[in-house]
Each structure stands twice: as structure tokens, then as C-alpha cells.
Amino acid sequence: MRLLVLGGTVFVGRHIVEAAVARGHAVTLFNRGRHGTDLFPALEKLRGDRDGDLSAFGGREWDAVIDTCGNLPRVVRASAELLASAISHYTFVSTVAVYRDFPRQGGLDESAPTALLPPGAPESVSETTIGALKAECERIVERAYPGRALIVRPGFIVGPHDPTGRFTYWPVRVSQGGEVLAPGDPDAPAQIIDVRDLTAWIVTSVERKLSGAFNVAGREHVITMAEVLDLCRRECGSCTFTWLNDEFLLEHGVVMRDFPLWAPNAGGAALIETAKARGEGLVCQDIRATVHDTFVWARGSSAPPRPRHWLSKERERALLDAWHESHRPLAGVR
């Protein structure tokens, strides 16, 4: 197949390109050329800007396009409508955050209502607006490609080459040893999808010209935070975990982004229904491999994950000390 990938050099896009090339597809990349310029030297690369310069598409045709980086409706509309006569199938990588009741409600499947942008809302991407923005992008794509659009809704994506360093925090922190702050309830559900499982499924689905919306968020059986962290300990080093409950962490100003997979008052974020995608061939590898490979990549990477997403060792120590102090037995009490 002749595939056009919008993006293609950062995390999900990079793995999509690798999977497509491995299967013998002819891949063309379209991006601004700001990231991963040394990647895929043998592939055709079109330079441009989705927000204003799509001239590189002129007169070209492909069998399918995979959109890995569309967030703003007007930008997605421009590329989707321009390419409508040049391709037969459009894949849009969205997010499970499109659901109106995410992350408060668990068990959401593809039939759940999606969020709507309030009238006059500015097109500004943030943690609070990304769901509604992506939902509108989905609607634009589906209108432009009726019956020939694949909408992929991933959950928490993990694995090698993740520039955010979100999940990577855990294997790296565990490898440093000592007392590790573990957030919330050890039995809280944790739902992750390995980027390689996600992208392999996407490429296969494009080959099959699959259409419709699919949650691609993880395996069938729920795992817990304790199980994930224990796997990190087995694969990455020795440490001891001290579990601090949600109430304590929230009282001390800790926010969700400080700890990957921690979602206080948002249990639905880890309980997305994935039966539809699994029915269409989604296979999730052993999480042990995900932890191991992510750690190996992070340890050997020349461009390690950005630490701004990680809790500092000093902040972690201060929280642990405050926890131990508040739970110290009172003198004279037996």
C-alpha cells in the first residue's frame, strides 16, 4: 500500500511508520521537519505545515492516510477535505478522552456519547479541552470520509520512545532503589496499551480498510497498580514501596500528572471497554516486556524523557517524611 503518515517521527507516529515499513508498505511522511529529522532516511518526506501550508499534497494520491497529530478541528478539516479525493481511507488517532463522561464513569464503550465543544470555545489544547477538540476532529473526518474512516481511541500509551516520560518514570525510579512513594490504592485498576501493540493493530486495520470507532486501550483483564509496580521491581531493580493514600496526597498538593497511572476520583480512566478492538484482532503483549523494553530504552537513550513530568526526588522524600511523621505512634499508646 501507499501510505501517507501525517507526523510520523514522534512516539506513536514513529512506531506506525516502523510497523508499516516492516510490512513492505511504501510510506510517505508529511511534517514540519522539527523532530526526528534523522529517522527513516530512505523514506519520502514532504515538508509543510498542517496549519497553513498543504501545498506538498498537490497532485498526489495515496491508498490511505494515517493522521497521528491532529488536535485542532480547523486544521484537521483542512487536510481531511483536501485529501478526500486523493485517498480511499483515513485513519485518525484520537483518544478515549473524547467521551463526555470520561474519566468519571468506568466501562465506557464506543457507543457512549462524546463531548461537544461549547459555542465560541477557543481552539486551545489543554488537559481540559483535548477531549472535546478530538471529538470534533473525529466528526469532521467521518463527514469527509463516510464509511471509510477509522477512528482509533487509545488510552494510556506506554513504551519505548515516549517523549513525555510519563510511564517511564516508574521503571527508572524503581531502578534507583530505596524507598519509593507509591500513590493511592494498591488495588486501583491500571490500564495501559503498549505503543507497539497499538500501532501494529492500526497498520493491520488500515490494510483491511476497517472503519468505525475503536477503543484501543489495553488488555481484557484489569491489572492493578500494585501489579504494575511489582513488575517494575522484578525487571528494573530492588526497592521498597510505601503506599500513600489519595487523601494525603491531595491534601499535600499532589496532582495527577505527578504520578503516572494515578487517577484519584477518576477510576473510569482505567476501565475503558476494549472488546470491539479485541474482536478485530487487538493483541496485547505481556506487560513484563513493556516494562523491560521501556527501561532498556530509557537507560540507553541519548534523548531521555523530559524530567518535567517526573516528581523530583526531593519532593518525593518530603512527602514520605510527612507521611511517616503523621503516622508515628503516639507516645505512651500501646
Q: With respect to residue 325, please indicate whether it lies within any of the assigned structural domains.
A: no
Q: With respect to residue 331, please indicate whether it lies within any of the assigned structural domains.
A: no
CATH number at residue 162: 3.40.50.720
Q: With respect to residue 334, please indicate whether it lies within any of the assigned structural domains.
A: no
Q: What is the DSSP string of 177-219?
A: -SEEEEES-TTSEE-EEEHHHHHHHHHHHHHTT--EEEEE---
The answer to which of 48-52, 110-114, 154-158, 161-165 has the lowest mean pLDDT is: 161-165
232, 250 Cβ separation under 8 angstroms = no
Asked whether residue 334 carries a pLDDT value surpassing 50, the answer given is no
**Tens digit of pLDDT for each residue in 211-245?**
999 999 998 888 999 999 999 999 999 999 999 99
- As a whole number, mean pLDDT of residues 245-250 equals 96
Structurally, the chain folds into a number of domains equal to: 1
Q: With respect to residue 328, please indicate whether it lies within any of the assigned structural domains.
A: no
Q: With respect to residue 333, please indicate whether it lies within any of the assigned structural domains.
A: no
290, 198 Cβ separation under 8 angstroms = no
Range of the domain at 139: 2-319
**Tens digit of pLDDT for each residue in 139-157?**
999 999 999 999 999 999 9
Q: With respect to residue 88, please indicate whether it lies within any of the assigned structural domains.
A: yes
Q: What is the DSSP string of 52-102?
A: TB-GGGTT---SEEEESS--SHHHHHHHHHHHTTT-SEEEEE--GGGBTTT
Q: With respect to residue 215, please indicate whether it lies within any of the assigned structural domains.
A: yes
**Tens digit of pLDDT for each residue in 55-79?**
999 999 999 999 999 999 999 999 9
Confidence of residue 306 (pLDDT cuts 50, 70, 90): low
Q: With respect to residue 151, please indicate whether it lies within any of the assigned structural domains.
A: yes
Q: What is the mean pLDDT of the chain?
A: 93
